[in-house]
């Protein structure tokens, strides 16, 4: 696995926040940004997995998006 150097532009206030967190955690700016990117990608994967599960379940049961909205409204009226 190779390493590539990239240039990224940040607004000054965001860069200051990044530097403050990196300093508080005694790590480099690069380490902090790499970790943030990994966490973002992992979160996106988890959400995609959740949405895929829901879409598959809905397809198996023949549910449409409108059915979900109708069920939510029905349950709210019951309360």
**Chain mean pLDDT for the chain:** 94
Q: What is the pLDDT of residues 65-76, one digit of tens each?
A: 888 889 899 999
Helix (H) or strand (E) holding 34: helix 29-61
Backbone angles phi, psi at 60, to 5 degrees: -60, -35
pLDDT class for 28, splitting at 50, 70, 90? Answer: very high
Two structure tokens written together for 75 = 């349950």
pLDDT class for 26, splitting at 50, 70, 90? Answer: very high
Q: 0.75 cut: is pTM over it?
A: no
Selection from 40, 35, 29 nearest residue 7 by Cα: 29
Backbone angles phi, psi at 30, to 5 degrees: -60, -45
Q: What is the pLDDT of residues 30-64, one digit of tens each?
A: 999 999 999 999 999 999 999 999 999 989 999 99
């Amino acid at each position: 696995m190779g390493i590539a150097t990239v240039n990224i532009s940040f607004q000054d206030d965001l860069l200051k926040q990044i530097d403050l967190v990196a300093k508080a955690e005694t790590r480099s700016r690069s380490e902090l940004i790499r970790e943030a990117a990994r966490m973002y990608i992992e979160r996106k994967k988890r959400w995609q997995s959740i949405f895929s599960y829901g879409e598959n379940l809905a397809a198996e049961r023949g549910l449409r998006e409108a059915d979900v909205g109708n069920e939510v409204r029905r349950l709210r009226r019951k309360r």
